[in-house]
Structure 1
């Protein structure tokens, strides 16, 4: 199953806890905790483009499976990351002490971000 399509945030768990654990300030956490988001995935073979829409802010990350790439986070920080596919519907990205997993499940995108202690979970629906 290709990672193509747009998904809108439905629910999320543990955002504040993970962001606190990563050292983000209360102001940053409050700024982003309830913001709605739409993510568009474009996959062409092993090449991917993710376009994140956070309100008026748009962030685009492009990468190729198995090659280190630079990602821009929702806060604007730049991090080096490495992505790999597990099967046809699961993408795993590792970056500076974090692991992000994006898994397609029917018309849902289930995303988790973990620092090994706290796991943030987000569920989005295909639109």
Structure 2
């Protein structure tokens, strides 16, 4: 159920994230920064809040905070964490919160779901996938 996504989640596992970032066009310099700020030991958190069509995700890293508010099924403009402009649409597919990002030269699909008490994010783009896991705090 999508309500299980609500809460504050802290990352503890990240597999193949660097290769995923390369695949979607993140520069080597920004990959190095992202590895420090977003890896499994970084204390990165996502605070997810959703009800009906209205949702928000607040991401907190050592670099600062970013919050996005959105309605399911409505495309909006924002920027990736490395500053590239993207068009984003969120939908619910069963119990998964699915985020599709479309930017210059890439498209990524990020699926978030709760399994066994942990938030699992599977991110894929340009033929490369990574899996990131979070515990509820």
Tell me the TM-score normalised to structure 1 length: 0.90
Q: How many residues align?
A: 126
- 1:106 Cα offset (Å): 3.4
- 1:116 Cα offset (Å): 4.1
Name the SS of the counterpart of 2:49 in structure 1: strand
1:7 matched residue in structure 2 = 9
2:113 is the counterpart of 1:103: yes
2:51 is the counterpart of 1:44: yes
Moved more, 46-55 or 106-115: 106-115
- 1:71 Cα offset (Å): 3.5
- 1:101 Cα offset (Å): 0.5
Name the SS of the counterpart of 2:29 in structure 1: helix
- 1:28 Cα offset (Å): 0.8
2:92 matched residue in structure 1 = 85
Aligned counterparts, 1:8-87, within 5 A: 8-35=10-37, 36=42, 37-87=44-94
Unaligned runs of 5+ in 2: none
Tell me the TM-score normalised to structure 2 length: 0.84
- 1:34 Cα offset (Å): 3.4
* Higher share of residues assigned helix: 2
Unaligned runs of 5+ in 1: none
Contact 1:61/1:72 (CA < 8 Å) preserved in 2? no
2:134 matched residue in structure 1 = 124
